[in-house]
Structure formats: structure tokens, C-alpha cells
Amino acid sequence: MPTVSMTVNGKTVSGEVEGRTLLSQFLREGLSLTGTHIGCDTAQCGACTVHVDGVAVKSCNMLALEADGAEVRTIEGMANPDGSLGVIQAAFQEHHGLQCGFCTPGMVMAAADLLAANSAPSEAEIRAHLDGNICRCTGYHNIVKSIQAAAAQLG
Amino acid sequence: MPKDHGIGASPKRREDVRFLTGNGQYTDDINIHGQSHVHFLRSDVAHGTIRSIDTSAAEAMPGVIRIFTSADFEGVGGVPCGWQVTDRFGEPMQEPKHPILAEGKVRYVGEIIVAVVAETLEQARDAAEAVVVDIDELPAVIDMKAALEDGATKVHDDLPGNLCFDWGFVEENRDAVDAAIKGAAHVTTLELRNNRLIANPMEPRVAIGDYNASNEEHTLYTTSQNPHVIRLLMGAFVLGIPEHKLRVVAPDVGGGFGTKIFHYAEEAFCTFAAKAVNRPVKWTSTRAEAFISDAHGRDHVTRIELALDKDGKFLAVRTDTYANMGAYLSTFAPSVPTWLHGTLMAGNYTTPLVYVNVKAVFTNTVPVDAYRGAGRPEATFQLERVIDKAARELGIDPIELRRRNFIKPDQFPYATPVALEYDTGNYDATMDKLVEIADIRGFGKRKAESAERGKLRGLGINCYIEACGIAPSNLVGQLGARAGLYESATVRVNATGSISVFTGSHSHGQGHETTFPQVVAEMLGIDESQVDIVHGDTSKIPMGMGTYGSRSIAVGGSAMVRATEKIIAKAKKIAAHLMEAGEEDVEFADGTFTVAGTDKSVAWGDVTLAAYVPHNYPLEDLEPGLEETAFYDPANFTYPAGAYACEVEVDPETGKVDVMSMTAVDDFGNVINPMIVDGQVHGGLAQGIGQALLEACVYDDDGQLLSGSYMDYAMPRADDLPSFTVDHSCQTPCTHNPLGVKGCGEAGAIGSPPSLVNAVVDALSEAGVTHIDMPLSPSRVWSAIQAAR
Amino acid sequence: MDLKGSRTIAADRMTVWRALNDAEILKAAIPGCKEMTGNADDGFEATVTQKIGPVKATFKGVVTLSDVIEGESYRISGEGKGGPAGYARGGANVRLDETDGVTTLSYEVDAKVGGKLASLGARLIDGVAKKLADQFFENFQNAVAPRSDDEAPDDDDTGREPEKKKGLIKKMFS
């Protein structure tokens, strides 16, 4: 089996994978980073969203081998260095932007991706950006509020 | 100023930290050393006779441990149904066997035929491709009315036909209702469909079976809303495992919405197979599997008649409903179109006569069961749609027509003609609030603005009432429930005064770990951080009926209150001993015991320590320790009610509907955590809007599910929805539970579809449209506009 | 899903008919066909790889001819199982009419899918079926004409060119 190496949340990791192993599988099963969730099989729900070289991707839609040599960031890498919640994470808690928590890692990663590109998104821009992330619990109302609050704080 | 702790405050959720950092532990995150994986080979035809199954090639494939067919399940029970409905002739419903793996026939696309257990999931999948199943395809019955015609293909050969039951309620009122309709000044009739839905919690179902041969103990990790119910159903009725040898764990669960209440074949399979292969066996559903194996929801076809007198007073309601059961009876399926539906047909109104007929029908489709609201959305939708239609026909303002018929505050407790006794409510108050915060009076101006942009704006309103926390057990037993509907709680006070509450309620997004401590901490006057909640594990919690039907705080919370009251009673005795006072003179407030009229006091921690280090302790009168359990069986349902308004813009050129606003005014009685209650309503609204606007579970005539992925089944996404306006300041506390609470989990999904459809019909009323079936897709709306022209 | 169409093939009816019963020609014409064995009387076995929307699958199945009226019409139907992708089955009623040495092949196609193909691909199936049917008859048309080129030096070949022109002229002036 081929070996794949990448940097995940700042740490260099490597492992053997099959050609068909998805990045999401490698993160969950190979690295035990189970914060990245699998909610569908058609790259629609976004629960598996991670950042690869700074861009949000659906890790169920990328082979592990395609991420060879890449910088990958997952939900486990979003807290502050001291372990406290990062600004976006804290905003989700403050504004009740999550309920069952299953879509949450993908939502946080998608929100970080948006705010990196647009520091002051409108409600419509936030909603449009979340088009590829499905939440069944919150009705998105508080997710939108959380992202607006994070944007305000990040300036 | 809002409270910052205790009941009525909105502390941030403590469970969020683990979910936000990727440290939640969902069932699929659990991997047991040595586990094997199962892949289920499912039927891709809706109906057929299994002629042969050849597993020989697959068995020789790499990694295959064992391949199971129904032949391996001889002597094992079928998946049981937890509710037996008696039909209107006094006969029990038709109840077919529901095998773990298909026996002889397949009856829906998705039914499991073969299970392949292998070292890895990939090997199991590869081997499943080498299994040869020869099926003689039979005609499928999909349409409910066609299924009841003479000569229709039977889903179950051993039953008389496809009718599960023909239920009448209240049967004695049947003739009186017909007479009232015949003699009425006005009768409004509406035929409609409550569209079939797929619950789609974001976490797909997972089951892991584990078996310890040395002590014969089984463990099942499963994505369940009610692990004890699974233990009872699977242990007693399917696999014959006594409770003390069967542990069911439901860890973090990623949403349920009803579809994770039920006991599924996959759970029984993994538990059974783990012993058979002496290895842990894991199954993780793909989303594609979820679409064809999770129980679906709704799917009622109804004709409703509302009779009114010349002043618009409701005289009678009659409904005829066909309810789809799918191919087998899921755990609570028969209760949904009957006791959770017929009993709500009085709504918020004084209608004196109601008759509900329901024909439940077997079809070659996935089993249908409770989905958020379960029966109550169906009842509310028909009633609130027909009232709106009547208002339009009679030229009466729809708000005014409802007000004329409201049960008034001084009429409570109010006995409806459909067996319920509403304890409290104030429907005018919620309507007043709605008129205010939805700015109903400003609608005309907004409509004109929309018209300038070429859009048709509509306003729809509706009321709803629902029944939460189904109870009491002795009543539901008479109605056919094969389980009790109490809840249990154990409050364990530790030596230093910290507390673990063991609750039979299960949290899968509702925030119990935050709200339940708010209650206990307030009762004891201690800090919330001193209270933790333990749930979801049958080895830790004495008993539990789980979380569904908006019952957790009303039933589970009440059990916790009762147990905490017992704690306080015992702690007072200990405090009295410590202070050398009479027990009757001890008062307890803010975490301190005092003797009335003196300056004597002992702190909470002093008493709890004495309970566990009983050096100075009334050992002759009192056991050491401080732990109490209570079972709470409610005296009645709770009855949340409210008034909702929706405004839409319809593009007459394309038929596209935009939801401009959705306003929900709910009376939930007392509220423990307003932030969480708002969130529950938001989620319900999104699902209600999803049903009304987007979601459709579609089968073709051959029984193929055509909407089996997120590219085909339109889940509401962020840009489909508006921000919501919600209010729960109108509060008539429940009179029969200690917290005065009602349920809030399902209200949004119950209350929102009729207001949305009423709004679209309002927008199109000038074009002559009187009804459009959900979901109001652009093509349906456009076609309705064209047809009306 | 039902669709109809027709094609004009510059060959006489019996030539077209023989081609319709020829495993090699059918193999060349069926889009994605990897293997085809058997004969018209006993049926053919075929392996076909197709992509419908997001689902790509290799179908193994049988192709049978029924309702055969020699030289005039038949029904060609196929049923393939695609493993985890589900199944696809379909058929075409094919009729041949000859006018002035040119054969008009008319067809009515019906197709059904099951399993994952239905739940993920159903909304695409009409388009796919139309495309596949068009491709089939296009391929078939091409397979029949050049084959005549290669094999039949005399009648067929000499007769074809003028007939094609005739057809064209007829079209232009009708």
C-alpha cells in the first residue's frame, strides 16, 4: 500500500492507505481525528469539511493520496494554543449555534473559510456560503448569528 | 433583568465545548479492539419472492468471517411493534412478522436480505457483490388507495389484505357528526396530502455489537433516543437476552427527530452476530442506506370537512385519512395516525363534535413511523388549512374566525370531544402577541411593496395545540401502548456535595446536560457546576423511556424534581440531627439549612459529608448515604399551544416561493432555559418549512425511491430560510407537573407548515388558487397558477 | 420513461434486419458494451459499463429478442444487474419499413432503473436513456453502412449512393 504524508494541525503525520482511501477516512480511522464527521456519501452535507492548504474542502470528496504533502487543518486544530475555544468556536457556544453537534465541525471550518476571505459578510453572504453545509437542528438562525458575532470580534 | 443562573436563565451549553473541539463521542467514533464490520445486502426491488441465495463465492473472498441469511435467525423473534391499535369494530390491527433479515420475500427497496461480516468494511462490501440473490419480482403496491382495492397485490400473503386497521374516533359520534355536517349553514371541504418525509438526522445510524463470552454479557452501542426501550424490545422480544446481561449505550447522538426512537433490525443483527462470530460487529449506515432504512414520516392522505353555523361557529369536524404504514409496522407506527393524531382534531377550538376515520395501509415502501410532531403536524395541518379555506369562503378574517371559536381562558380545564383534557391555555393572548410582533397590520404596505417588484405577497397564520409527554401509563396502556410512559431519575449526592443526576431522558441535541442541572441547582441553592447529568447507558441509569414527543423536561425533569425533593427531605433530617433541632423546624434555602427563629445553620456540604462520614449521624433512624430515585408518571399530557404567522413572496413567472418571515408565538408554560427553547423552536420551524416548501420523499410506481440522496431530497439549507422571530412570553404553566413546564421540541415543526401554505394560497387567492399540496415547489406553484387562470 | 424516434438507413430492409440480429453489430452499437456473446435465438449475454449521474456501474445481463416478425419488427430487451448500483432494464420495440431501398428504423424505448441508480440517478434517467438510445441507433446506423462498404462490392454499394441522393433530393423537394 502506498504511504501518504501530510501536516495535520501542525504535526507531520504519515500512514499507509489504499488508493481508494478518502481523506475523511484517513483522518478518522488512520489518525483517530474523529471530529471530522461523515454525514453523507455525495459530498452534499459538509460535515466532513476541513482545510487543505488553507482552503475548505469536503474531505469525503478527496482521496488521502491527493492530500500528500498538504497542510491540513481539522476541527481539532481550531482551539487556541492554550486549549481555550477559538473566536469562531466561542461564538458558536455564545449564540447557541449548535445542538446535536454533528454538523458543527464542518460549520466551524466553513465559517473560518468564509471569514478568512470576507471579514464582514452580510447575512445573505453567510447563508450563501453555508449552502454546502446542512444542519438539521438549528434552522441556521443561530449559526448565522454566531458567524456574524465572530466576524465582529475578529474585525 | 434576566436571571444569570437557575430556572429561567440561559447559561451557555456545557456540552458545546466537546462538540466544538471535535471531542464529542458519537457511536461511529467508537472502535472496539478486534471489531469486524458488517455490510448489508439490501433488496433493490420493492416486492418479490426470494428464489435462492448463493453465498458460496462470497464466502471464499478475502477477509470474510461469516455470511448471514434469514436461515441463521430461526428461533429469533421479529422486530416488535410497540403499540397495538384496536379498530372500530373492536378487532386488533393486522400485525405481520417483521423479520431481521428478509424471509422468503422482500417487501421494500432497502430490506436486508444478506449480511456479510468481514475483517474490514471494504472486504464486506466486496464480498457482498459476489452474493447472488435470485428474486422473482412481484408487482409492487405503492399507492394507498390502490392497495385497498379488491384484487390488489398483497404485501403480506398471510394477511387478509393491505389494510392494517380501520380506526374510528370517537366512534359513537360518527352519526352525530354526519348529522351536524348535513344540517350546517356552511361546510368547507378540503382534500390534501401530508407529504412523506425522511427525518435525516445528520448523524447516520450506527450499531456496534459486543459480546463477552466469559460472563455472557452483550453490549450494544447504538444511535438511539431511548437505549432502555431498545434493551427492552430487543432483549425481551427479539433475542431473548435478560436485562442484566444486556447493556445498551447511546453515547453522543447526532440528532434523532423520531427516527432514532425505533428498534431496528441492524441493532438486533449486530448484537446477535457479535455472539455468533465472537467478535465485535460494527455497522455504520451510509446516507444512501439511511434513505431506504430509517423509518420515514407523515404520508397521510386526508379529506376533511368543517361544518360551521351562519356566524362562523364550528359545529363539527369529520376527517377521512389514509395513513401509510410502509411494508412492516415500525415500533410506534400505529400510534401516530391514531392517538397522536385523532385526539388533536379539536385544536384550539370549541368544536363540539369530531369524528376521525383512519385507514392504515401496508405498501411496498420503507416503514413509516413518528417524525418530529408525529400525528400532531398532520392534525394541525388539516384543521388549520380547512379553517383558512372556510374563512376565505365566508369572507371572515382568518384571525377573527379563529378567535370566535377559541376555547377561552375561563373554560380551562377543558374537556375536548376527542378525549383530551387541556389543563391550561390562553389562545387569545398568543394571538394578540402574534398580531403585535408579526406586524400583521403592516402587511398591506408590505404587499404593495412586493407588488412593485412584481411579486405576490401572502400572509398566512395558524394556531396549533399539541400534546406532549404522552401519559399516564395506565391510560396509554388502555390505548394499546405496550410500554409505560413514565421516566426515572436518580440523584446521587456525593460526600462533598457535588451531584450526579442519572436520567432516563436522552439528549441528542436538546441540551439536557445544561438545563437539567439548572433545575437541581436552583432547588438546592448550589452552583450549577456542582451538578452533572449522566444519560444514555442502561448500565448506569435505573430505567428510562427516553426522549421523544417533547417529553424530556416535562416527564424526565419532573422525575428529577421528585428525586431531588426526596434528597432535600432526607438532608433536612440529617441537618436537624446536626443542629440538634426538630426536623419540622429546619428550613432549607440557598444551600443552607437553618433552624427557624435561631441563628443555627449548617451548609449543604456539611450535611452531605455527614451522610457519607456518619460519625455524628442518626444511624438508628436513618441510613447513611444520600441518593434517591424517583419514577414520575404524569397525570396528563402537557398542552403547548401557539399562533404562527408566515409571509411569503411568490414569483408568478416561476412559481418560486420565498419565505420572507416566520413568526412563532408559543405558550410553553414555564421555561427553564430560554436560549435553548428558542433554538428548539428554530429547528422545528426549519423542518416545518422544509416540509411545506422543499422536502418530498418520492417513490415511483415500482417502489423505487427516487429521492434517495441529498441531490434528490431537498433538505432546507441556510439560504432557503429566513431568520425567525420567536416568542414564548405568554405562559400558562402546566398545572400537573412540578415545574409547570410543557414541551417545546416539536412545536415549530407542527405549527409552521399550515401558516406557510396559508400564506402561499393567500398570495395566489386573487388568481383563484385554493389549495396546493406540499411541498410547494416552483413547478407545483406555477402549475397551480396556470391551472387557475 | 418512454421515448420514440426513427432513423433512415441507406440499406435494404433485410440487410438492416440481419444487422439487428448480429451480435457483433449489436456489440458495436450498444454504448459502453464491453462483451457480447450468444445469438439471436438463445439470447445474448452482455457486459456494459455505463455512468448515470454520479453512479458508474458495470452491468452484466442478458439481451433477449422477442415478438419477432422476421424482417419486420422485434422487441429487444435487456436487463442488467450492476451490483451495489442496482439494476437497469429496458427495451426497444423496433420496426423496419423500406421505401425505395431505404429503410426507416422506428423505435420506442422504455427504461427502468432500481436500487441506488433509482435513488441517485432517477432524475437523470430520461436524459441518459435518450442519449443512449440516440447513440445506439447512431452507432447502429454507422455499423450497418460501412460494413456494406467493406463487404458488399456490387448491388448494395452501387445501389446506395444514388439512393442516398434520391433520398436527399426527395427531402429537399417534398
**How does DSSP assign B253-305, residue by residue?**
----TTTTTS--HHHHHHHHHHHHHTS-EEEE--HHHHHHHS-EE--EEEEEE
Closest partner residue to B44 (CB to CB) among C53, C54, C86 is: C86
Evaluate if residue B89 carries a pLDDT over 60.
yes
Closest partner residue to B706 (CB to CB) among C84, C87, C119 is: C119
**pLDDT at residue C163, as a whole number:** 41
Whether B721 sits inside 8 A of A140 (CB atoms) is yes
Over the stretch B91-107, which tens digit does the pLDDT of each residue have?
A: 999 999 999 999 999 99
Q: Residue B122, SS3?
A: helix
Tell me, yes or no, whether B275 and B382 share the same domain: no
Quickly state the pLDDT bin for C110 (edges 50, 70, 90).
confident
In a domain, B156, yes or no: no
Tell me, yes or no, whether B309 and B250 share the same domain: no
Whether B704 sits inside 8 A of C123 (CB atoms) is no
- CA B437-B669-B520 angle, 5° bins: 125
Tell me, yes or no, whether B209 and B117 share the same domain: yes
Residue of C nearest to B698 (CA): C119
Tell me, yes or no, whether B532 and B563 share the same domain: yes
In a domain, B491, yes or no: yes
Indicate the average pLDDT of chain B.
97
Q: Are strands B300-308 and B314-326 parallel, antiparallel or unpaired?
A: antiparallel
Task: Please report, for residues B187, B194, B462, B464, C47, the alpha-carbon distance to residue B348 in angstroms, rounded to integers and kept in the order given.
Answer: 19, 20, 10, 7, 63
Contacts 24+ apart (CB under 8 A), C133-137: C133/C3, C133/C5, C133/C92, C133/C107, C133/C109, C134/C5, C135/C31, C136/C29, C136/C30, C136/C31, C137/C5, C137/C7, C137/C29, C137/C105, C137/C107
Interface size between A and B, measured as CB pairs under 8 A? 177
Of the listed ranges B165-174, B763-772, C114-123, the least confidently predicted one is C114-123
Whether A38 sits inside 8 A of B204 (CB atoms) is yes
User: Which residues in chain A are closer than 8 Å to B286, comparing Cβ atoms?
Assistant: 41
User: Which residues in chain A are closer than 8 Å to B204, comparing Cβ atoms?
Assistant: 38-39
Closest partner residue to B21 (CB to CB) among A41, A76, A134 is: A76
Q: Which helix (H) or strand (E) holds B657?
A: strand B657-667
Whether B705 sits inside 8 A of C54 (CB atoms) is no
**pLDDT at residue C1, as a whole number:** 56
Q: Which helix (H) or strand (E) holds B586?
A: strand B586-589
Closest CA to C46 of C93, C79, C75: C79
**pLDDT at residue C56, as a whole number:** 77
Q: Is A61 on the interface with B (CB under 8 A)?
A: no
Task: Please list, in sequence order, all residues whose beta carbon lies within 8 angstroms of the beta carbon of residue B593, skipping any fewer than 6 positions away.
Answer: B571, B572, B575, B578, B579, B586, B587, B601, B602, B603, B604, B607
Closest partner residue to C118 (CB to CB) among B128, B129, B704 is: B704
Interface size between B and C, measured as CB pairs under 8 A? 49
Which numeric CATH code is attached to A3-77?
3.10.20.30
Q: Looking at chain A, which subunits does it touch, using at least 3 CB pairs closer than 8 Å as the criterion?
A: B
User: Which amino acid does the sequence have at B395?
Assistant: G
**pLDDT at residue C17, as a whole number:** 92
Evaluate if residue B490 carries a pLDDT over 60.
yes
Among B10, B12, B15, B16, which would you mutate to test the A interface (most chain A Cβ atoms within 10 Å of its Cβ)? B16
User: Which residues in chain C are closer than 8 Å to B129, comparing Cβ atoms?
Assistant: 83-84
**pLDDT at residue C146, as a whole number:** 57
Of the listed ranges A4-8, B48-52, B205-209, B481-485, the least confidently predicted one is B481-485
Q: Give the domain CATH number at B700.
A: 3.30.365.10
Looking at B597, B632, B667, the residue that finishes a domain is B632
Phi and psi at residue B283, in whole multiples of 5°?
-130, 130
**pLDDT at residue B449, as a whole number:** 98
Q: What is the DSSP letter of B92?
A: B
**pLDDT at residue C161, as a whole number:** 42
**pLDDT at residue C132, as a whole number:** 83
Tell me, yes or no, whether B663 and B623 share the same domain: no
The whole-number average pLDDT for the span B381-401 is 98
Q: Is B139 on the interface with C (CB under 8 A)?
A: no
In a domain, B177, yes or no: no
User: Which residues in chain A are closer than 8 Å to B685, comparing Cβ atoms?
Assistant: 139
Closest partner residue to B21 (CB to CB) among A28, A38, A75 is: A75
Among B42, B44, B126, which would you mutate to test the C interface (most chain C Cβ atoms within 10 Å of its Cβ)? B44
- CA C131-C136-C141 angle, 5° bins: 125
Q: Is B45 on the interface with C (CB under 8 A)?
A: yes
Residue of B nearest to A47 (CA): B202
Residue of C nearest to B108 (CA): C115
Kindly list the domain boundaries of chain C, sorted by start residue.
Answer: 2-173
**pLDDT at residue C172, as a whole number:** 37
- CA C10-C13-C19 angle, 5° bins: 85
User: Which residues in chain A are closer than 8 Å to B682, comparing Cβ atoms?
Assistant: 138-139, 141-142
Over the stretch C137-165, which tens digit does the pLDDT of each residue have?
A: 888 888 887 544 443 333 333 334 444 43
Task: Decide yes or no: CATH 3.40.50.1110 for domain C2-173.
Answer: no
Over the stretch C37-80, which tens digit does the pLDDT of each residue have?
A: 888 888 888 888 887 766 777 888 888 889 999 999 999 888 88
Kindly list the domain boundaries of chain A, sorted by start residue.
Answer: 3-77, 87-154
Whether B202 sits inside 8 A of A135 (CB atoms) is yes
Evaluate if residue B660 carries a pLDDT over 80.
yes
Domain that holds residue B272: 18-138+205-284
Over the stretch B363-377, which tens digit does the pLDDT of each residue have?
A: 999 999 999 999 999
Q: Is B44 on the interface with C (CB under 8 A)?
A: yes
Task: Please list, in sequence order, all residues whose beta carbon lies within 8 angstroms of the beta carbon of residue B215, skipping any fewer than 6 positions away.
Answer: none
Evaluate if residue B470 carries a pLDDT over 90.
no
Looking at B284, B305, B330, the residue that finishes a domain is B284
For chain A positions 73-132, those within 8 Å of chain B (CB to CB) are: 74-76, 78-79, 85, 89, 92-94, 96, 98-105, 108, 123-124, 126-128, 130-131
* Stated length of chain C: 174
For chain B positions 263-322, those within 8 Å of chain C (CB to CB) are: 288, 291-292
Closest partner residue to B202 (CB to CB) among A36, A47, A75 is: A47
Evaluate if residue B35 carries a pLDDT over 60.
yes
User: Which amino acid does the sequence have at B445?
Assistant: K
Q: So what's the ipTM on this one?
A: 0.98
Does residue B624 contact residue B612 with C-beta atoms inside 8 Å? yes
Whether B291 sits inside 8 A of C119 (CB atoms) is yes
Whether A92 sits inside 8 A of B16 (CB atoms) is yes
Tell me, yes or no, whether B323 and B279 share the same domain: no
* Stated length of chain B: 789
**pLDDT at residue C137, as a whole number:** 87
**pLDDT at residue B1, as a whole number:** 60
**pLDDT at residue C153, as a whole number:** 38
Residue of C nearest to B130 (CA): C83
Tell me, yes or no, whether B588 and B644 share the same domain: no
Looking at B284, B304, B336, the residue that finishes a domain is B284
> CA B358 to CA C155: how far, in whole Å?
74
Closest partner residue to C115 (CB to CB) among B44, B700, B711 is: B44
User: Which residues in chain B are closer than 8 Å to A108, comparing Cβ atoms?
Assistant: 20
Q: Is A148 on the interface with B (CB under 8 A)?
A: no
The whole-number average pLDDT for the span C99-116 is 87
Per-residue pLDDT of chain A (155 residues; tens, 9 = 90+): 899 999 999 999 999 999 999 999 999 999 999 999 999 999 999 999 999 999 999 999 999 999 999 999 999 999 999 999 999 999 999 999 999 999 999 999 999 999 999 999 999 999 999 999 999 999 999 999 999 999 999 98
Of the listed ranges B411-415, B425-429, C3-7, C70-74, the least confidently predicted one is C3-7
User: Which residues in chain C are closer than 8 Å to B48, comparing Cβ atoms?
Assistant: none
Closest partner residue to B705 (CB to CB) among C53, C84, C118 is: C118
Q: Is A26 on the interface with B (CB under 8 A)?
A: no
Tell me, yes or no, whether B302 and B405 share the same domain: yes
Closest partner residue to B706 (CB to CB) among C86, C87, C122 is: C122
Q: How far is A69 from chain B (nearest CA, A)?
A: 23
Whether B723 sits inside 8 A of A98 (CB atoms) is no
Q: Is B706 on the interface with C (CB under 8 A)?
A: yes
How many domains would you assign to chain B?
Answer: 3
Evaluate if residue C90 carries a pLDDT over 90.
no
Tell me, yes or no, whether B624 and B650 share the same domain: no
Tell me, yes or no, whether B442 and B570 share the same domain: no
Whether B13 sits inside 8 A of A94 (CB atoms) is no
**pLDDT at residue A103, as a whole number:** 98
Tell me, yes or no, whether B586 and B718 share the same domain: no
Q: How far is C21 from chain B (nearest CA, A)?
A: 28
Tell me, yes or no, whether B534 and B606 share the same domain: yes
Instruction: For the domain made up of A87-154, give the CATH fold.
Output: DNA polymerase; domain 1 (1.10.150)
Whether B683 sits inside 8 A of A76 (CB atoms) is no
Does residue B278 contact residue B212 with C-beta atoms inside 8 Å? no
Closest partner residue to B255 (CB to CB) among A40, A137, A144 is: A137
Over the stretch B173-230, which tens digit does the pLDDT of each residue have?
A: 999 999 999 999 999 999 999 999 999 999 999 999 999 999 999 999 999 999 999 9
User: Which residues in chain A are closer than 8 Å to B13, comparing Cβ atoms?
Assistant: 93, 96, 98
User: Which residues in chain B are closer than 8 Å to C113, comparing Cβ atoms?
Assistant: 704
Whether C118 sits inside 8 A of B706 (CB atoms) is yes
SS (H, E, C) chain A: CCEEEEEECCEEEEEECCCCCEHHHHHHHHCCCCCCCCCCCCCCCCCCEEEECCEEEEHHHCEHHHHCCCEEECHHHCCCCCCCCCHHHHHHHHCCCCCCCCCHHHHHHHHHHHHHHCCCCCHHHHHHHHHHCCCCCCCCHHHHHHHHHHHHHHC
Closest partner residue to C119 (CB to CB) among B125, B702, B705 is: B705
